[in-house]
Amino acid sequence: MANAILFDAHPSAETLIATTGTLKNLANAAIAVSDECANGTGLFTLADFELYAHDFAAAPSAGGYFELHICYQLDGTNYADGEDGDLADANLSSATLVGVFPILNSDEDQRVQLIGIPLAPHDFKCCVVNKTGQAIANTDGSFLKIYRYSHEVQ
């Protein structure tokens, strides 16, 4: 009989969008696509996400945010993005939306987290959609990181 639910280990950071990646100079309403996250072998059940926006061209609109979408590779080949499955021109929907990073009305650096996002046992890519009203500055530094983990029943 199980009597405790614990984390199996302290999660390690994995960079999905690097500091020189597609978040650099990301325009308002544009989409940044991450590197692939191989969860089909890791089989983690939960994830925490950290988005770091290194400056903006100007202060974001009040109530601005970034959307986080997860597009899974259910068949081992194609990403389910409503388009041709390669995320080159992602057609995202409420079916792929997993959370929102709220952004302050300030052009300073901002670090925002999403905690406890459920993961399916498939490889995936993340898409970040800029809904802040401003572009991220055309400088290196912005990133998206994931911390994957599972619970262990003892």
| 149 in any annotated domain | yes
3-state helix, strand and coil shares in percent for the chain, rounded to the nearest 5: 5, 40, 55
pLDDT, position 2: 66
Domain housing 98: 31-153
Residues in the chain: 154
Distance of alpha carbon 133 from alpha carbon 130, whole angstroms: 8
pLDDT, position 43: 92
| 141 in any annotated domain | yes
- Supply the CATH number for residue 61's domain: 2.60.120
pLDDT, position 76: 85
| 20 in any annotated domain | no
Residues with Cβ within 8 Å of residue 63, at least 6 apart in sequence: none
pLDDT, position 110: 94
Distance of alpha carbon 101 from alpha carbon 112, whole angstroms: 6
| 140 in any annotated domain | yes
For the chain, the domain total comes to: 1
The Cα-based distances of 112 to 36, 67, 84, 100, 144 in angstroms read 21, 12, 31, 10, 10
| 70 in any annotated domain | yes
Mean pLDDT per 10-residue section of the chain, whose length is 154 residues: 77 92 92 93 94 91 96 87 75 93 93 97 95 91 95 83
| 14 in any annotated domain | no
pLDDT, position 82: 67
| 9 in any annotated domain | no
| 78 in any annotated domain | yes
